[in-house]
Each structure stands twice: as C-alpha cells, then as structure tokens.
Amino acid sequence: MRDWDDMRLFLALARTESLGRAGASLRLDPATISRRIARLEGALDKRLFTRSHQGYALTEQGARLLPHAIAAEAAMTAATHEAAEAQSGLAGQIRIGAPDGCANYLLPQVVARICEGNPGLDVQIIALPRVFNLSRREADMAIGVSAPQAGRLSVQKITDYRLSLAAAQDYLHRHPPITDLAALKSHRIIGYIADMIFDSELDYLASLGLERVALASNSVAVQVNAIRLGAGVGVVHDFALPSAPGVVRVLPDAFSLTRSFYLIRHLDDRRVARLNRFAELLHRGLRQELARLEAQVG
C-alpha cells in the first residue's frame, strides 16, 4: 500500500465494520472514508470489503491484507513514540481489554499510578464480559482468566486470585443462618447469566450444584452491588471485598476458589519497546495491588 493514510483508513474500517464508526474514530466524514476506500481498492485492483445493511466485512483479499497493515501500524506507532519516550517516559495511547471484575476493582488504581509517572500516556480500559480479539486489534493487550491455546499470541501468567462466597451482614441478619453449603439452596443466589458465561473458569456455582440463580448479571460489578445491597449470596473476588463495606465472606473454610489472570498480547508486539515497558509495569502493578487488597480480607 503506497499511502500510510490509506492504510489507516483501511484499518479503521476493518475494525469497526462501519463507515460512521470509522469516521468517528478518525474524525473524518464517512463519505470521505467511502471514497478513499474505493480509490484504494481501485489502486490495488482488489475488493477489500463487502458492503451490506449490516456494515462492511473484509473479503478474502482484505483479510490477507489486514496483518500487513497491522504490522505497518505497529512500526509507525513505535517510530513515532520511542524517541519521545526516551526523554519523557511512555507516551501515546494504549488500550487494555479486561473482564469487568479486573477492570473495575484492579485496573483503575494500577493504571492511575502508571499514568502518574508517564504524563504523556493515554490509557483506555475496555471492560467487556467476553474474550478480546487481539488479531483484529480490539486492544493492544488483554487480561484473561484462562490462557488461549491458539493464535499468534504471547501469554504471561500474572498471578492467582481468590474468590469466596459472600453476603451483606444485613442480609445474613434477616435470613436463616448458613451453617453449611447445603443451606445455600434456601437462600437467594446471585451470579452470572448462565448462557453468557464466556469462559468456563467463570462458572463458579457449578461445583455447588446450584442450578437456580435468582438475580443474575453478566457483570461482576452488578453482582457485587446486588450482594452489597442485601439481595442475596454470591461468589465474589476477594480483591473486590474492600470496595464493598458491610459484605463478609460466608463459609470461608468450606468454600474457596482460586483462579488466575493472564496478560495476553499479539506476538508481533513483543518487538515494540513501549508496549513491552507498559506490559512490565502493568504486570508488576497488578500483582502488587491484588496482594494488597487480598491482605485486607485475610
């Protein structure tokens, strides 16, 4: 591709699959993007996208071009920022994808400390209850609860974390005592929407044989708030408990889960110094913050 600006437009449309969203991300009129893409397809003599009412989808030729465009983008980004960072620290934009438990209760304070030491850095945190597609550059890096087994990815374990049954003290005062795990069947259970569990590591209630979830959400933050407000009993990350005053662990000696966080990156990005440095700071910061919060729970 002869023109980097054309490559930038191609990538924006490939990622958003919409002229409007691509235009918003680049601050360009959608008609301009449509015209430039048509010009690019003419110059390459290749159809890069199929158009439909659902939006723009990559053709086979477009899909073959995508990894080359992504590699060129990474090289351009690295060349733009590395000289400045040598003098003033990390700079530019970095986007992190994470499950919303991590995104709500760990990442804000970790990222805030990184940004404080790198005033030229902009960080975007995307909290979504699904697996991120790094090959399509939905994020520069992602945090996952299991290690992917396919794709050109670099996977590094960050740390283990604990989960416990928990309820608000007010709820426990108003309902029959929970003396063993069998007693949970007579209590309102809070948890995930079963058909929206995107990773088997999140199916916390399976081992308890609890089929009915009276109050369900695909969001950890919603579940924690429901528990905090006395709506029932649920499984909570121990690192989230300091943010939920009045919520206590239930049967901690009888039930506890251990899961892990992984830092997932595109393999090609291991050659980008700024992303390596940020990943190092993020990895260290998450380990420290999680240990600090879990120590408050005991």
23-47 pLDDT tens trace: 998 999 999 999 999 989 988 999 9
pLDDT grade for 1, boundaries at 50, 70 and 90: very low
Rounded to an integer, what distance in angstroms lies between the CA atom of residue 199 and that of residue 261?
13
Q: How confident is the model at residue 242 (pLDDT cuts 50, 70, 90)?
A: very high
Greater pLDDT, 24 or 133: 24
Cα 153–Cα 86–Cα 289 angle in degrees, nearest 5: 55
For the chain, which residues make up each domain, given as ranges?
4-67, 90-159+260-297, 160-258
The answer to whether domain 160-258 has CATH 3.40.190.10 is yes
* CATH superfamily to which 90-159+260-297 belongs: Periplasmic binding protein-like II (3.40.190.10)
Following DSSP, what letter does each residue of 30-88 receive, concatenated? HHHHHHHHHHHHHHHTS--EEEETTEEEE-HHHHHHHHHHHHHHHHHHHHHHHHHHHHH
Instruction: Tell me what percent of the residues of the chain surpass a pLDDT of 70.
Output: 92
Secondary-structure class of domain 4-67 per CATH:
mainly alpha
Residue 79 has pLDDT above 70, yes or no: no
**Predicted confidence band at 285 (pLDDT cuts at 50, 70, 90)?**
very high
> Predicted confidence band at 167 (pLDDT cuts at 50, 70, 90)?
very high
Q: Under 8 Å CB-to-CB from 43, ≥6 apart: which residues?
A: 2
CA distance 179 to 250: 9
- Indicate if the pLDDT at residue 222 is higher than 70: yes
- What lies within 8 Å, CB to CB, of 187 at 6+ separation is 175, 176, 178, 232, 233
Contacts 24+ apart (CB under 8 A), 47-50: 48/10, 49/13, 49/14
- The whole-number average pLDDT for the span 75-90 is 62
How many angstroms separate the Cα of 126 from the Cα of each of 100, 113, 115, 133, 135?
8, 18, 17, 12, 16
What is the arithmetic mean of pLDDT over 94-101? Answer: 92
Topology agreement, domain 90-159+260-297 and domain 160-258: yes
Q: What length does the chain have?
A: 298
In this prediction, residues 59-73 reach a mean pLDDT of 88
CB neighbour class for 261 (10 Å; exposed up to 12, middle 13-18, buried from 19): buried
The mean-pLDDT minimum among 139-143, 194-198, 215-219 falls in 194-198
